[in-house]
Structure 1
Amino acid sequence: MLKCYDCLEDNKDSEAVGVCIVCGKGLCMEHIKQVEFPMKGGYPLPHVTLKKELPRMMCRECIDATLGEDMCV
């Protein structure tokens, strides 16, 4: 079974419920965060904004690195 990477760094043993879409590390419910991105479809043009945002799972480190600390998640 996949273990939570962040918990293992703290000498805890927790099962992962998902993986970060950026770095790929396994995360438990305590460490995984859902981030909704507005998605655009169409290649190369025209770009169409999808009617519903798609949820993505990320770790706190990748949220801070890609979206910045100003994001509310």
Structure 2
Amino acid sequence: MHCYDCYTDGTESTAVAVCVECGAGACPHHLRSEPEPVRRSSATGRVWSPRDARRMVCRVCHESLKQSSG
């Protein structure tokens, strides 16, 4: 799979991840990694979250989400 943003810029590079928002392939240059909280229920009903997972988004979705949350 190739990076969609590179393709629209007229170049070609290999995608290393897929954006969870739009599904476009993204290369390391166009990829943004955000923390994603992990929540699990234990037998006692407590929420356990040892550390955050990763959420991969392309540059376009990252900027869009940043503007809508600000």
Please give the TM-score of this superposition, normalised by the length of structure 2. Answer: 0.75
Query: CA shift at 1:41, angstroms?
Result: 3.0
| Identity within the alignment, % | 34
> SS of the residue aligned with 1:15?
coil
**1:55: Cα distance to partner?**
0.9
What is the CA distance between 1:64 and its match in structure 2? 2.6
Matched residues, number: 65
Query: CA, structure 1 residues 58+47, in 2 after alignment: closer, same or farther (shift >3 Å)?
Result: farther
Aligned CA RMSD, in angstroms, stands at 2.0
Shift of 1:37: 1.8
Alpha-carbon distance between aligned partners in 2 of 1:24 and 1:9, rounded to the nearest angstrom: 15
Q: Which amino acid aligns with 2:34?
A: V
- Answer yes or no: is 1:58 the counterpart of 2:57: yes
5+ unaligned residues in a row in structure 2: which ranges? none
More helix by share: 2
SS in 2 for 1:7: helix
Unaligned segments of structure 1, at least 5 residues: none
Runs of 4+ in structure 1 deviating by more than 4 angstroms, as ranges, are: none
1:47 Cα offset (Å): 6.8
The amino acid across from 1:19 in the alignment is V
Structure 2 residue 26 is the aligned partner of structure 1 residue 27 = yes
**Which residues of 2 match residues 1-73 of structure 1 at below 5 A?**
2-42=1-41, 48-66=47-65, 68-69=66-67
